[in-house]
């Protein structure tokens, strides 16, 4: 039988809040099983691991680089390049 985690355990594994996990598990493409009359969720550990692997692959070094700062031309520099305010 696969390792099934409760919502609390899965949220701790993903380092998010339980409510966030309950709201977004379908959109994130996670697999979950409903158990019992109340339909409590259980998440297979393999599904969570796959989601983490996909998320890490999407995060490229370029995505983490800071954006270049915009510099407003003023004074002599503005005159040199013909920039008018």
Full domain range(s) for residue 14: 4-59
Q: What's the CATH code of the domain at 50? A: 1.10.1660
Domain membership flag for residue 45:
yes
CB neighbours of residue 65 within 10 Å: 8
* pTM, to two decimals: 0.63
Alpha helices in the chain (DSSP H): 7-14, 18-24, 45-58, 61-64, 76-81
Rounded Cα–Cα distance for residues 24 and 37 (Å): 22
Domain membership flag for residue 48:
yes
Per residue in 56-72, pLDDT (tens digit) is 777 656 556 666 666 66
| 15 pLDDT higher than 70 | yes
- 40 strand-pairing partners: 35
Residue 63 confidence (pLDDT): 58
Rounded Cα–Cα distance for residues 11 and 66 (Å): 29
Domain membership flag for residue 51:
yes
Rounded Cα–Cα distance for residues 53 and 65 (Å): 21
Number of domains composing the chain: 1
């Amino acid at each position: 039988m696969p390792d099934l985690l409760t919502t609390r355990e899965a949220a701790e594994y993903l380092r998010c809040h339980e409510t966030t996990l309950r709201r977004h598990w379908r959109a994130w493409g996670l697999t979950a099983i409903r158990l019992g009359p109340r339909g409590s969720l259980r998440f297979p550990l393999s599904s969570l691991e796959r989601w983490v692997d996909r998320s890490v692959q999407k995060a490229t070094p370029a995505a983490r680089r800071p954006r270049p700062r915009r510099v407003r031309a003023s004074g002599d520099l503005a005159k040199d390049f013909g920039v008018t305010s």
